[in-house]
Structure formats: structure tokens, C-alpha cells
């Protein structure tokens, strides 16, 4: 039986209203991290949290922490939240639901003047997507000590702008040292970004952990030449090498199926002219698997493939691993709180492993952590057509609230 119930319509209206900040013609959001649009949504977020009586603090990499007081001042807050940045062709829910669902939890408690035992904290993490600055989950990674501020500052987007320059431009270089703002636990609400919940008719995913992820950057260099006057046997076509490696990345992932995935998602051709043989190609590789040993094998196969293709076509090559996020197991007590929260709300649920990376993977290194998943239509995400329903968003926020209150009871 529910005692505290979130306002489903209010949550939905907030999701739709904030989606206008960076809204695209196809119904998605383009709100890249540390842009003017990111500043706009950050300013809105700060003002909304302060309206609820929260104190908002910002650290050196722009992570935002909105704290609501509890009965006790001798324990660290219980944190909820996610991220407000999006992919270049992002949807309305990836990351955003976790922040705005958390805001709805805060609004519900505020409206009823409900005082928790521990303080509560709502977090907006910086650069979770990694679409502007690699690697992904950069803000939470710095918070957890995986990276330092200097590393974050040195990251450069494809236009040559550094993270340090971008965060200064929007005024969100905070005065708190990474990790200085403490919390005792972290709960992150998110869409599944996959098809499992929808296909099985389940409303809630009780997330057990996150699979391992590795990102690579590869540059192949051949020789630019005229397409009409250069015989095929004398060409050093970097794009041909890249095309073969795209296929080999796919083959490596298939060889380690069903749990492995591999993707080339970004490819830049130089000089990108129709009558010039491509002299250089830059591309990225994304490998994921629940086991580190398998990821290591996939990496070894990639290394061998790059060298073999480069030798065959007479190309120079450079490649490096830019991100290595090992598999993560979440906290059993928080997992149980989410499961109980779903049952209390009368919602169907199943245990699930996250195929996507999340800030929770890094917060799990410094505090008990877990996640709550809700379905997304067709399993589609990182796409402007990404969709879920008002009822599913509300279900996730309700379970988040229920799990939060159950975990908070230990501080009574």
C-alpha cells in the first residue's frame, strides 16, 4: 500500500517542458555537455532545487549536488540522480528521466513536508554521454577518483575546444574538490536502453550491475592521390583499410556472442573529397561484455586485425585505448530495496544487467549503488525517436521513492 505517491502528470509535464531546451525537429534533444544549452538546463535545475529548499553545490568538473536536509546531520545524504547532457541525436529520456524523476521525488516530499532521516541529494553528473568529450561518464569518473581534474580539463572535442575552456565558458567550474561532497548511497533511475523489459512485459528492471566497456581510437594513414590517374595496385587507400576493420570489429563481436557487442560509431575521412583517394581515416571502436577476460581477448583480436590490415594495404596506423570501464556489481541491500519498492507499488519486475554505461558504475566504487530501469519502446535509445510512456516514467519514479525511503529507514 502506497503512503507517498509521486505526481505522474507533473513529472511528465516537466520532462516535456525541459525537452524544449535543445529540442530537435524530430522530437529528440541535442544538448551536448558544457554548451550554452547545457548551461540553460543547469540554471533551470539549480533554480528548481533551490525552490525546494535545497542547497546546490558544484565541483571542479561541473557535477551539481542539490542537498535537502534530513533529521540527522551526522550522516551523509542518500543520493539520487543521473545526467542532463544528451547525444547529438538524443532522446527525451536517457539520463534526463533519472534527474527529473529524482526532482519529482524531492517535490513529493517537499509538498507533504516529509522529513527523511538522512539528508537527500539530487545529482546532475557532467559529460555522462561522452559524445563531446571522451571518455563517457567523465564527471562521475573524476568524482570517484578514476580520473583527475587535469585529465578532464585536457579532453578535447572534435573542434579543438578543451573541457577546461568549455566549462569556463558556461560558468560551471565549481569550487568543490571532486569527491568532497559526500553521499552514503546512490540510486539512479534510467530507461533500460534495450528491449528486454518491453519484450517480457515487465515494468521495472532491478539492476544487478553494469557490463564492462572499452573504447578505442584508431587512425589509419595512407596517401592522398588522384582517383582517376592512380592505378589500383599503387594506391594506399586509408578508407579501404577502415572499411575492412569495421567489418572485422563486427566479426569479433559476433565471435564472442551472445553477450559481446562491438561497434564503430564515429568515422572521419580526410580529405573527404569525391575525386581524392582518402589519405587518412580516424574511427572509434566500442567493445562491451560482462567479463573482463572476454574483453581482453576481443582487444587482442582488434590489435591483430589493425596490424594485419595495415600491412596488407601498406598503411601507417596509430591506435589507443581511451576508456576501460570494468564490469560492476551493485550493492545487495540497495538491490533488495528496489525489488521491495517495486513489489510495494504492485509493479512487475525482473533482475537485469545493464548493457549501457552509467554514472552508477563509478559511484559504486565509492558508495553503495544500484539502479532502477523502466522500459523504452522497441529498446531504442541514443535516437531522437527514443520513447517511453508517462505511466512507465511514473512507475520508475515511484520505485525510486519507495527504495529511497526503505534505505533511509536504517538511519532512524
pLDDT digits (tens, 9 = 90+) for 212-238: 999 999 999 999 999 999 999 999 999
Cell numbers describing residue 167: 566549462
Q: Residues of the chain with pLDDT > 70: what percent?
A: 100
Asked if 374 contacts 191 with a C-beta cutoff of 8 angstroms, the reply is: yes
Whole-angstrom distance, CA of residue 103 vs CA of residue 151: 31
- Beta-bridged to residue 316, according to DSSP, are 221
pLDDT of 67 > 50? The answer is yes
- The alpha carbon dihedral of 218, 223, 226, 227 has a sign of negative
Long-range contacts of 67-70 (CB under 8 A, 24+ apart): 67/119, 67/120, 67/121, 68/106, 68/109, 68/110, 68/116, 68/119, 68/120, 68/121, 68/122, 69/115, 69/119, 70/115, 70/116, 70/117, 70/118, 70/119, 70/120, 70/408, 70/411
* pLDDT at residue 392, rounded to an integer: 98
Q: Which domains does the chain have, with CATH numbers?
A: 8-211+327-411 (3.40.630.10), 212-325 (3.30.70.360)
pLDDT in tens, 255-278: 999 999 999 999 999 999 999 999
- 176-190: per-residue pLDDT in tens? 999 999 999 999 999
Q: Cite the annotated binding site by residue number.
A: 83, 94, 129, 190, 382
DSSP-assigned beta bridge partners for residue 191: 374
Give yes or no for residue 355 having a pLDDT over 90: no
pLDDT of residue 210: 92
pLDDT at residue 1, rounded to an integer: 43
120-125 and 267-270: which strand pairing?
unpaired
pLDDT of residue 356: 85
pLDDT confidence of residue 2: 54
What is the pLDDT at residue 113? 95
In 174-331 the beta strands, taken as DSSP E runs, fall at: 185-191, 204-210, 212-221, 225-226, 261-263, 267-270, 276-277, 280-289, 316-325, 328-329
- 91 Cβ contact list (under 8 Å, min separation 6): 28, 29, 376, 380, 381, 382, 383, 384, 385, 386, 387
The span from the CA of 173 to the CA of 287, in Å, is 32
**φ, ψ for residue 86 (rounded to 5)?**
-130, 175
pLDDT digit string, tens, across residues 294-340: 999 999 999 999 999 999 999 999 999 998 988 999 999 999 999 99
Cell numbers 553494469 correspond to: 210
d(CA 360, CA 191): 14
Positions at the binding site for Zn(2+):
83, 94, 129, 190, 382
- Mean pLDDT, residues 148-171: 97
End-to-end CA distance of the chain: 21
Please tell me the distance from the alpha carbon of residue 102 to that of residue 105, in angstroms, as a whole number. 5
Q: What is the pLDDT of residues 78-119, one digit of tens each?
A: 999 999 999 999 999 999 999 999 999 999 999 999 999 999
Q: What percent of the chain has pLDDT over 90?
A: 97
d(CA 209, CA 356): 10
C-alpha cell of 197? 523489459
Amino acid at each position: 500500500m502506497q503512503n507517498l505517491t509521486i505526481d505522474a502528470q507533473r513529472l511528465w509535464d516537466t520532462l516535456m517542458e525541459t525537452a524544449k531546451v535543445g529540442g530537435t525537429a524530430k522530437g529528440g534533444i541535442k544538448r551536448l555537455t558544457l554548451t550554452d544549452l547545457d548551461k540553460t538546463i543547469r540554471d533551470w535545475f539549480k533554480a528548481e532545487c533551490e525552490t525546494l529548499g535545497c542547497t546546490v553545490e558544484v565541483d571542479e568538473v561541473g557535477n551539481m549536488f542539490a542537498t535537502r536536509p534530513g533529521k540527522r546531520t551526522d550522516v551523509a545524504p542518500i543520493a539520487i540522480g543521473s545526467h542532463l547532457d544528451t547525444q547529438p541525436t538524443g532522446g527525451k529520456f536517457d539520463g534526463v528521466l533519472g534527474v527529473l524523476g529524482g526532482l519529482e521525488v524531492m517535490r513529493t516530499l517537499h509538498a507533504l513536508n516529509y522529513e527523511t532521516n538522512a539528508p537527500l541529494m539530487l545529482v546532475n553528473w557532467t559529460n555522462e554521454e561522452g559524445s563531446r568529450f571522451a571518455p563517457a561518464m567523465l564527471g562521475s569518473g573524476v568524482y570517484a577518483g578514476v580520473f583527475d581534474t587535469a585529465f578532464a580539463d585536457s579532453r578535447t572535442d572534435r573542434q579543438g575546444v578543451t573541457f577546461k575552456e568549455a566549462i569556463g565558458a558556461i560558468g560551471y567550474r565549481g569550487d568543490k574538490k571532486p569527491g568532497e561532497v559526500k553521499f552514503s548511497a546512490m540510486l539512479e533511475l534510467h530507461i533500460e536502453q534495450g528491449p528486454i523489459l518491453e519484450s517480457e512485459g515487465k515494468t521495472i528492471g532491478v539492476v544487478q550491475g553494469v557490463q564492462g566497456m572499452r573504447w578505442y581510437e584508431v587512425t589509419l594513414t595512407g596517401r592522398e592521390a588522384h582517383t582517376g590517374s592512380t592505378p589500383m595496385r599503387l594506391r594506399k587507400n586509408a578508407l579501404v583499410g577502415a572499411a575492412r576493420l569495421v567489418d572485422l570489429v563486427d566479426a569479433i563481436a559476433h565471435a564472442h556472442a551472445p553477450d559481446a557487442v562491438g561497434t564503430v560509431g564515429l568515422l572521419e575521412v580526410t580529405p573527404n573529397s569525391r575525386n581524392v583517394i582518402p589519405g587518412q581515416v580516424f574511427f572509434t571502436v566500442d567493445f562491451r561484455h560482462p567479463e573482463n577476460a572476454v574483453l581482453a581477448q576481443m582487444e587482442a583480436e582488434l590489435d591483430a586485425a589493425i596490424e594485419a590490415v595495415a600491412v596488407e594495404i601498406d598503411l601507417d596506423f596509430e591506435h589507443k585505448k581511451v576508456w576501460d570501464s570494468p564490469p560492476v556489481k551493485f550493492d545487495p541491500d540497495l538491490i533488495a530495496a528496489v525489488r521491495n519498492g517495486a513489489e510495494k507499488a504492485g509493479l512487475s519486475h525482473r533482475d537485469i544487467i545493464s548493457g549501457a554505461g552509467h554514472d552508477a558504475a563509478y559511484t559504486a566504487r565509492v558508495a553503495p549503488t544500484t539502479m532502477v530501469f523502466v522500459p523504452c519502446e522497441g529498446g531504442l535509445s541514443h535516437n531522437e525517436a527514443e520513447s517511453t510512456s508517462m505511466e512507465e516514467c511514473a512507475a520508475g519514479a515511484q520505485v525510486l521513492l519507495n527504495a529511497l525511503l526503505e534505505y533511509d529507514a536504517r538511519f532512524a
